[in-house]
Amino acid sequence: MESYEELLDNAYKNVKVVGISSDRFEVPKVEGQVSGKNTIITNFIDIANYVRRKAEELMKFLLKELAVSGKLESNRLILNTKLSSAKVNEKIMLYVKEFVICSVCGKPDTEVISEKGIKVKNCLACGAKSPIKY
């Protein structure tokens, strides 16, 4: 049987660390250009990493919300239409509000988990769980 200290050490190893920072959570704005009839977002992977979500999930959301087709090519997202950066930024902020920011404490320290087939946003800062509507 393990001692209390060993059990405590094991628990600390398995706990996800929440960064304590007074910095304001600010999602980077999209960077890119329009090339012919395509819109290329060059810092897409950086944005996905900043919000700590998979690039494929963010891409799927954007394609659905913008009603366009597109693909992820190396570190860029290529959308098959001409779009303004303001429109893309608006949809990214909608994603962040729905899938990243905790609805109880307002912190971005969340993860999306599945409980009994329902996607839930689990806050690592305050412990709140809220279902995802999308």
How confident is the model over 35-55, as pLDDT tens digits?
Answer: 899 999 999 999 999 999 999
* 65 burial via Cβ count (<10 Å: 0-12, 13-18, 19+): middle
pTM over 0.85: no
- Across the chain, mean pLDDT equals 89
More confident residue, 132 or 133: 132
Q: In the prediction, which pLDDT does 12 show?
A: 81
pLDDT of residue 23: 57
Q: Nearest to residue 18, comparing CAs of 104, 131, 126, 117?
A: 126
**Res. 22 pLDDT band, cuts 50 70 90:** very low
Q: According to the model, what pLDDT value does residue 117 have?
A: 87
Query: pLDDT, tens digit, for every residue of 122-132?
Result: 998 888 999 98
